[in-house]
Chain A
C-alpha cells in the first residue's frame, strides 16, 4: 500500500528533476452561477479604455476590415477617437477604403494618419491623395497579398479594430447575429481574419453584445483582447441590396453572353469545375447564362469562390454548385446564407488567395471572370487608377485569381464614354499580362498568345476571336487621340505584387 503522504518525497524529487513546482491546493472554486459569467467579462470596456490598454503609441499600425463597404462606420469612429486622444503619426492598414472614409482627409492633414496601406481608394480621399495629399505613398496590396504580408510580417499590425455584427463578452465574434437585437449584418469576416490572428492586440467593435457562447463564431475569443460595444458598426443596406436585379443594359448583356460562351467552350466547363465571378452587371448576367447551360448539359460545379452574391447562392440552393467559399459577402442574401448554410464556408484572405499558402482556394480555381478599367495590348490590366490618372478603384483579388486560376477572363467594354478600355499601355500595372488569358469586349474576344489552345477551342465554337491590337486601334479610331496626362514627379502610391515585390508606382496628378 502506497499513500500520497508516503509518495511525497518521490513527488518532490520528481518535480525537482522536471524543474516544476509540486502541487498545492489554492482557494475554493468559483460557485457563481455561470449564467452571470456568460454576460460579463473584463474584456468589455469603452473604446477609449480599449485604446489605452492596448498600448497603442504614436507611429504604430492600426488595422480595419471593409466588410461593410460603403456603410462602414468603424474606421471613422475609431480614427475620430484616436485624434481626440491626441495620437499622431499612425499607419492605417485597412483591407480597403471607400467613399465613406472622406473624413480621413482631415486626419491626414492634422498628422493623425501619416501612412496608409489598403487594397483600394475611392471618392474625395482618393482624389486628394492622387493630387499629393500625403508625404508617404499609399501602399496598395491585393487581398491575397495583404494576407501574405500580414502572415510574413511585412505588414505588422499593432492594434486591429475589427467591426462585428455580434460578439460575446469574451470576444467570439461574427459578421452576423443570431440574437433578437441584431442591428447589422455583413456576412463573411474573411478580410478581418488575418488581422485577428496576427495583430498584437485585437479590439472587437460590435453593435450587438450577446451572451457567451456566440457560436458558431468567425473570430475566436483566443485572439481577442478587448470588446467594445457601440451604437452601430455599419449600415448593412450599403453593402448591396438584397434582391437580385438583372442588368437591363444591352451592352452588359452582350458582354455577359460572350463571357458565358467563353466559359462553356473553354475546355474547363466540366462536371466538378470551380468558378469565381465579380459583382459587376456583366459578371452577374454571365452567371445567368452559365446556369442555363449547366442545367442543359447536366453539369455541376464543385465550388464557387470569392465575393459571393445572391446569384451564386441561388445556384448553390438549386444544387448546381456544391459549396460556396466566401471571403466577402456581396449582398444580404449571401450574408444570410453564410449564417444559415454549413456548405457556405467563410475563408480568411490567406486561405482565399495568398500566393504562399499552398491550400489557398484560388489555387483550386478553374475559371474567373474579372472586370478592368484598362487592358493593354500585352494583356496587362489596371483596376486601380482611372484613365485620368486619379485613383478610383481597388486591386481586390484581381491579380490573385488571375494568376492562380486555370483560365482568367477579363470582361470590359471597348469604351466607357470617351475612355478607351483597350489601350497601348495601362496607366498603372496591377495584374501582369502573363496571367490574363482572355479579354471579352463587345467588338470581339482577344486571347493571349500564350494560350493558343484556348483560341483554337473558341474559334471552333464560332466565337469572334480578334487580335488585341485591332481592338485598341478600333477604340482609337472612335475616340480620337488622347492628350498625355499631367503627372507630377511625386510618388503617391506603390503597387505591391502578391509575392511582396514592387510592381508599379503611381505618380501625382497636377492640375
Chain B
C-alpha cells in the first residue's frame, strides 16, 4: 500500500500520539514509549497491530508515545494516522 508520513493524537494525559512512516522492511514495527509501559506495554502494541491489520496495513514503522490512553483511544488514533498516511478513507466505505 502506498504510504507517506502521518500522525494523529496528542501528548495530553489519557491520549496517545501515533506517527506512521513507510518502511522497506516487512511487517509492522512498533517503537513504544508509554507512561504505563510496565502494566500495559504489550496490550498497547497488540491494539496497534490489530488495528493496522484490520485496515490492511502489514508494512509500516509506528512510533507511539502513550500517556495512558485507553484501548478505544488507541484504536481511534491509529486509524486516523493510517487514513492520513494512506489517503484511504475508511469511514466512508
Name B38's contact: one of A416, A481, A485 (CB within 8 Å). A485
Q: Can you list 5 residue pairs at the A/B interface with Cβ under 8 Å?
A: A388-B35, A388-B38, A416-B13, A479-B70, A483-B42
**Pairwise interchain contact B43-A480, C-beta atoms closer than 8 A:** yes
Number of interface residues of B (CB under 8 A): 16
Task: Please report the C-alpha to C-alpha distance between residue A481 and residue B71 in the assembled complex, in whole angstroms.
Answer: 11
Q: What 16 new A-B contacts, CB under 8 Å, besides A418-B68, A480-B40, A483-B40?
A: A387-B39, A388-B35, A416-B68, A417-B13, A417-B67, A418-B36, A418-B39, A419-B68, A479-B70, A480-B71, A481-B43, A483-B41, A483-B42, A485-B39, A486-B38, A509-B38
Task: Kindly identify, within residues 17 to 75 of chain B, every residue whose CB is under 8 Å from any CB belonging to chain A.
Answer: 35-43, 67-71
The answer to whether the Cβ of A389 comes within 8 Å of any Cβ in the partner chain is yes
Q: Which residues of A contact B67 (CB under 8 A)?
A: 417
Name B40's contact: one of A389, A418, A478, A509 (CB within 8 Å). A418
Q: Which residues of A contact B87 (CB under 8 A)?
A: none
The answer to whether the Cβ of A9 comes within 8 Å of any Cβ in the partner chain is no
The answer to whether the Cβ of A460 comes within 8 Å of any Cβ in the partner chain is no
The answer to whether the Cβ of A243 comes within 8 Å of any Cβ in the partner chain is no
Q: Which residues of A contact B43 (CB under 8 A)?
A: 480-481, 483
Contacts A417-B13, A480-B43 given; indicate if A389 touches B70 (C-beta within 8 A). no
In the assembled complex, the CB of B78 is this many whole angstroms from the nearest CB of chain A, namely 16
Task: Please report the C-alpha to C-alpha distance between residue A420 and residue B26 in the assembled complex, in whole angstroms.
Answer: 37
**Pairwise interchain contact B39-A388, C-beta atoms closer than 8 A:** yes
Task: Please report the C-alpha to C-alpha distance between residue A483 and residue B36 in the assembled complex, in whole angstroms.
Answer: 10
The answer to whether the Cβ of A482 comes within 8 Å of any Cβ in the partner chain is yes
Q: Which residues of B contact A389 (CB under 8 A)?
A: 38
In the assembled complex, the CB of A231 is this many whole angstroms from the nearest CB of chain B, namely 38
**Pairwise interchain contact A388-B36, C-beta atoms closer than 8 A:** yes
Task: Kindly identify, within residues 385 to 415 of chain A, every residue whose CB is under 8 Å from any CB belonging to chain B.
Answer: 387-389
Q: Which residues of B contact A388 (CB under 8 A)?
A: 35-39
Task: Please report the C-alpha to C-alpha distance between residue A49 and residue B70 in the assembled complex, in whole angstroms.
Answer: 58
In the assembled complex, the CB of B89 is this many whole angstroms from the nearest CB of chain A, namely 29
**Which residue of chain A has its CB nearest to the CB of B71?**
A480
**Which residue of chain A has its CB nearest to the CB of B73?**
A418
Name A417's contact: one of B38, B42, B69, B71 (CB within 8 Å). B69
Task: Please report the C-alpha to C-alpha distance between residue A416 and residue B70 in the assembled complex, in whole angstroms.
Answer: 11
**Which residue of chain B has its CB nearest to the CB of A509?**
B38
**Pairwise interchain contact B39-A417, C-beta atoms closer than 8 A:** no
Q: Which residues of A contact B71 (CB under 8 A)?
A: 480
Task: Please report the C-alpha to C-alpha distance between residue A308 and residue B28 in the assembled complex, in whole angstroms.
Answer: 54
Task: Please report the C-alpha to C-alpha distance between residue A419 and residue B36 in the assembled complex, in whole angstroms.
Answer: 8
Q: Which residues of B contact A509 (CB under 8 A)?
A: 38
Q: Which residues of B contact A482 (CB under 8 A)?
A: 39-40
In the assembled complex, the CB of B38 is this many whole angstroms from the nearest CB of chain A, namely 5
Task: Please report the C-alpha to C-alpha distance between residue A11 and residue B40 in the assembled complex, in whole angstroms.
Answer: 88
Q: Which residues of B contact A480 (CB under 8 A)?
A: 40, 43, 71
> Interface 1/0s, chain A 460-485, versus B by CB < 8 A?
00000000000000000011111101
Task: Please report the C-alpha to C-alpha distance between residue A417 and residue B71 in the assembled complex, in whole angstroms.
Answer: 11
In the assembled complex, the CB of B52 is this many whole angstroms from the nearest CB of chain A, namely 19
> Interface 1/0s, chain B 1-28, versus A by CB < 8 A?
0000000000001100000000000000
Name A483's contact: one of B38, B69, B70 (CB within 8 Å). B38
Task: Please report the C-alpha to C-alpha distance between residue A485 and residue B42 in the assembled complex, in whole angstroms.
Answer: 13
Q: Which residues of A contact B69 (CB under 8 A)?
A: 417-418
Most buried by B among A417, A479, A483: A417
Q: Which residues of B contact A486 (CB under 8 A)?
A: 38
In the assembled complex, the CB of B65 is this many whole angstroms from the nearest CB of chain A, namely 13
In the assembled complex, the CB of B13 is this many whole angstroms from the nearest CB of chain A, namely 5
Task: Please report the C-alpha to C-alpha distance between residue A479 and residue B36 in the assembled complex, in whole angstroms.
Answer: 11
Q: Which residues of A contact B42 (CB under 8 A)?
A: 483
> Interface 1/0s, chain A 145-174, versus B by CB < 8 A?
000000000000000000000000000000
Task: Please report the C-alpha to C-alpha distance between residue A509 and residue B37 in the assembled complex, in whole angstroms.
Answer: 13
Q: Which residues of A contact B68 (CB under 8 A)?
A: 416-419
Closest 7 A/B residue pairs (Cβ)? A417-B68, A482-B39, A418-B68, A417-B14, A418-B36, A388-B38, A417-B13
**Pairwise interchain contact A478-B39, C-beta atoms closer than 8 A:** no
Contacts A388-B36, A418-B36, A419-B36 given; indicate if A478 touches B70 (C-beta within 8 A). yes
**Which residue of chain A has its CB nearest to the CB of B42?**
A483
Q: Which residues of A contact B70 (CB under 8 A)?
A: 418, 478-479
**Which residue of chain B has its CB nearest to the CB of A479?**
B70
Task: Kindly identify, within residues 497 to 511 of chain A, every residue whose CB is under 8 Å from any CB belonging to chain B.
Answer: 509
**Which residue of chain A has its CB nearest to the CB of B40?**
A418
**Which residue of chain A has its CB nearest to the CB of B37?**
A388
Contacts A478-B70, A480-B71 given; indicate if A417 touches B36 (C-beta within 8 A). yes
Q: Which residues of B contact A418 (CB under 8 A)?
A: 14, 36, 39-40, 68-70
**Pairwise interchain contact B35-A483, C-beta atoms closer than 8 A:** no
**Which residue of chain A has its CB nearest to the CB of B67?**
A417
> Interface 1/0s, chain A 37-58, versus B by CB < 8 A?
0000000000000000000000
**Which residue of chain B has its CB nearest to the CB of A389?**
B38
**Pairwise interchain contact A417-B40, C-beta atoms closer than 8 A:** no
**Which residue of chain B has its CB nearest to the CB of A478?**
B70
In the assembled complex, the CB of A111 is this many whole angstroms from the nearest CB of chain B, namely 31
Task: Please report the C-alpha to C-alpha distance between residue A106 and residue B38 in the assembled complex, in whole angstroms.
Answer: 27
Task: Please report the C-alpha to C-alpha distance between residue A419 and residue B37 in the assembled complex, in whole angstroms.
Answer: 11
In the assembled complex, the CB of A340 is this many whole angstroms from the nearest CB of chain B, namely 39
Task: Please report the C-alpha to C-alpha distance between residue A486 and residue B38 in the assembled complex, in whole angstroms.
Answer: 7
